[in-house]
């Protein structure tokens, strides 16, 4: 299962789909990473969104691993 993260909404959609899958299988996922609130608005070095998307991808991979036992054949 692929979840391309292209923007904030795609990340929110991914959390929702995987949390719903987890719930239906009785699996508990940790809370998704919080969205950044400290955008500097000036094109800074080390964008807060880069860290956020890295954390979102890690969350996705962890969730997919936990749900891998429940994939359909
Ligand atoms: S680089 Fe990132 S944190 Fe900085 S202004 Fe742009 S979006 Fe915001």
| pLDDT in 10s for each residue of the chain, 73 residues | 678 888 999 999 999 999 999 999 999 999 999 999 988 888 888 889 999 999 999 999 999 999 998 765 5
Instruction: Assess contact for 66 and 29: CB atoms under 8 A.
Output: yes
How many Å lie between the centroid of ligand 1 and the Cα of residue 54?
15
Question: What global pTM score does this model have?
Answer: 0.85
Cα(32)–Cα(29) distance, integer angstroms: 8
Query: Which residues, judged by CB distance below 6 Å to any ligand atom, belong to the binding site of ligand 1?
Result: 39-44, 47-49
- Read off the DSSP letter of residue 26: T
* Closest atom of ligand 1 to CA, residue 50: 2
SS3 35: coil
The domain ranges of the chain are 46-73
Cα(54)–Cα(25) distance, integer angstroms: 26
Q: Which two tokens stand for residue 25?
A: 């299988």
């Amino acid at each position: 299962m692929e979840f391309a993260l292209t923007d904030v909404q795609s990340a929110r959609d991914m959390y929702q789909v995987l949390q719903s899958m987890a719930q239906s299988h009785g699996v508990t996922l940790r809370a998704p990473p919080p969205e950044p609130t400290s955008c500097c608005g000036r094109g800074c070095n080390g964008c807060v969104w880069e860290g956020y998307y890295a954390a979102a991808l890690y969350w996705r991979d962890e969730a997919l691993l936990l749900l891998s036992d429940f994939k359909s054949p």
